[in-house]
Amino acid sequence: MDKIASLCKRRGFVFQSSEIYGGLGSCWDYGPLGIALKKNITEAWWRDMITSREDMVGLDAAILMHPRVWEASGHLAGFTDPLVDCKKCKHRFRADQLTEQKCPDCGGELTESRNFNLMFKTFMGPVEDTASVVYLRPETAQGIFVNFQNVLNASRLKIPFGIGQIGKSFRNEITPGNFLFRTREFEQMEIEFFVKPGEDEQWHDYWKQTRFNWYLKYGLTRARLRLREHGTDELAHYAKGCADVEYEFPFGWSELEGIANRSDFDLKQHSEFSGKDLSYFNEETRERFVPYVIEPSAGVGRPLLAFLVDAYDEDTAEGEERVVLRLDPRLAPIKAAIFPLLRKAGHPEKALAIRDVLKEHFAVAYDQAGSIGRRYRRQDEIGTPFGITVDHDTLKDDTVTVRERDSMQQVRMPVDRLVDELRARLSVGRAGVVA
Ligand code: ATP
């Protein structure tokens, strides 16, 4: 993990928030390469889960919501972690994560556990009183539930269908840590899939499999991925069943995504608290019912960290040690780098002209600094799948050398075939799956 965190900072994937002021606990900023990787992940999710499906639509709800939403959802009363403090060293822990009733750091005596609400509270308007309290949403899901009727009326969708959303969520975590794994501000990619009661279990199975396969599609190693069913003691009060997609991080097996059967809990609660009917009427069968909901709920930071950890490798290239990120080409922040072999003899001009053509189609980089080996190494380290070199022959026959990151194989190719060739090669995933 230390190697990943240091690579992330050095190459501009992730920086600590407000670093020049000493940083802010468990908040991170995505740098130029990090935002490119994050966008590729969220766009892959949006394309696969929403635009390529007839039974899904998207939504982007506001982060601030009416405070009654959090009463109805149960977050105000129940979104808490049990908190204990060490009386001696003052360190703070989640009581449910301790194996013994003493401080794991110094062995000191612990305080009684008290419940701590994870929602960030703020005020709306100029007056800071109880009437103006609002919360930063701790999950994007509620924005979907409260818009269920709006989407239904606007889109003429029929059950089963789902609404997907990507957006920021905030949790005042007591024990954040492990870099991007547990942060206080994070992004989620959530789906609420509405089904007829009685058909919920088969849809739950379907989504468990679909979401598990999504991580495989983008190249996570099969042996480091598992689907773990929750025990009945772990289930949230509203959930009929839940399974987590877990990844084996260097710090152990941990959740990337939870796929829950939330029953009809949310729509019923919001019907009751808002006084609005959130049931569904099936025109064909003349039946009215409150749909059950299957919720595949993923973060963005956790999968991003898993993709980085999985891709990280060290090997020897052209006789030199190298760090290589074997990222799936579809997720790689930069798809190809263009290098002039020399900084003279017309090489840079030709390389820049190629860069200008390719940049219309892909995220590309141009690099003329240092030996060609060092330039390859710089791109390997950030996961760029292809390196394109302009040399003497290019000026004669309009061909370039294309080097592939993982195999390091080089092929000679006409410049006018580059766009089509790269497009074809970039659409095949690391796992050999075509997009
Ligand atoms: P955990 O048990 O690890 O606290 P959770 O079960 O509370 O997670 P969910 O409420 O199911 O998490 O949230 C869905 C997804 O949102 C998680 O699988 C995770 O990817 C992401 N997520 C939740 N909390 C955080 C966080 N503090 N930092 C980063 N991602 C998070």
Q: Which two tokens stand for residue 26?
A: 């468990």
CA distance 89 to 360: 57
- What percent of the chain stands above pLDDT 90? 83
Long-range pairs of 234-241 with CB within 8 A, sequence gap ≥ 24: 236/260, 237/74, 237/78, 238/74, 238/262, 238/263, 238/265, 238/266, 239/263, 240/200, 240/292, 241/201, 241/204
Q: Write out pLDDT tens, residues 125-144.
A: 988 888 899 999 999 999 99
Q: Which two tokens stand for residue 67?
A: 């405070």
Ligand 1 contacts CB of residue 138 (under 6 A): no
Query: DSSP letters of 235-267?
Result: S-TT-SEEEEEEEEETTEEEEEEEEEE-TTHHH
Average pLDDT over the chain, rounded to an integer:
94
CA distance 181 to 304: 9
Is the distance from CB of 403 to CB of 390 less than 8 angstroms?
A: no
Q: Is pLDDT of 189 > 60?
A: yes
Q: Is the peptide bond before 160 cis (omega within 30 degrees of 0)?
A: yes
* Mean pLDDT, range 1-11, rounded to an integer: 94
Ligand 1 contacts CB of residue 333 (under 6 A): no
Give the model's confidence band at 199: pLDDT under 50 very low, under 70 low, under 90 confident, else very high: very high
3-state secondary structure 347-359: HHHHHHHHHHHHC
CA distance 17 to 3: 19
Q: How far is the CA of 95 from the centre of ligand 1 (A)?
A: 18
**Cα 306 off chain centre by:** 9
Residue nearest to atom 2 of ligand 1 (CA): 255
Q: Is pLDDT of 177 > 90?
A: no
Whether the full predicted model's pTM is greater than 0.85, yes or no, is yes
Nearest alpha-carbon partner for 434 in 208, 218, 215, 207: 218
- For residues 123-154, one letter each, b for 16 or more C-beta atoms within 10 angstroms of the residue's C-beta and e for the rest, the string is eeeeeeeeeeebbbbbbbbbbbbbbbbebbee
CA distance 190 to 211: 11
**CA dist list (Å): 279 to 159, 192, 194:** 11, 15, 11
Ligand 1 contacts CB of residue 218 (under 6 A): no
241's CB contacts (< 8 A; 6+ apart) are 201, 204, 229, 230, 235, 260, 261
Q: Write out pLDDT tens, residues 265-311.
A: 999 999 999 999 999 999 999 999 999 999 999 999 999 999 999 99
DSSP state of 158: -
Ligand 1 contacts CB of residue 258 (under 6 A): yes
Q: How far is the CA of 229 from the centre of ligand 1 (A)?
A: 16
pLDDT of residue 432: 53
The residue written with tokens 């992940």 in the block is 41
* Mean pLDDT, range 408-429, rounded to an integer: 93
Ligand 1 contacts CB of residue 185 (under 6 A): no
CA distance 292 to 70: 20
pLDDT of residue 435: 43
Q: Write out pLDDT tens, residues 31-66.
A: 999 999 999 999 999 999 999 999 999 999 999 999
Phi, psi of 110 (to 5 degrees): -100, 155
Query: DSSP letters of 199-223?
Result: SHHHHHHHHHHHHHHHHHHTT--GG
CA distance 359 to 384: 14
Residue spans of beta strands (DSSP E) within 95-222? 114-117, 121-123, 133-135, 161-170, 185-195
User: Angle at the Cα of 138 (from 135 to 141), degrees rounded to 5?
Assistant: 115
Q: Is pLDDT of 433 > 60?
A: no
pLDDT of residue 258: 97
| 3-class SS of residue 192 | strand
Ligand 1 contacts CB of residue 171 (under 6 A): yes
pLDDT of residue 233: 85
Q: How far is the CA of 305 from the centre of ligand 1 (A)?
A: 13
Residue 316, strand partner residues: 321
CA distance 417 to 411: 12
17, 186, 256, 262, best to mutate for ligand 1 pocket (most atoms within 8 Å of CB): 186
Least confident of 128-132, 312-316, 364-368, 376-380: 128-132
pLDDT of residue 237: 80
Is the distance from CB of 412 to CB of 391 less than 8 angstroms?
A: no
Beta strands at 312-317 and 320-325: parallel, antiparallel or unpaired: antiparallel
Q: Write out pLDDT tens, residues 305-356.
A: 999 999 999 998 878 899 999 999 999 999 999 999 999 999 999 999 999 9
Residue with the bigger pLDDT between 105 and 306: it is 306
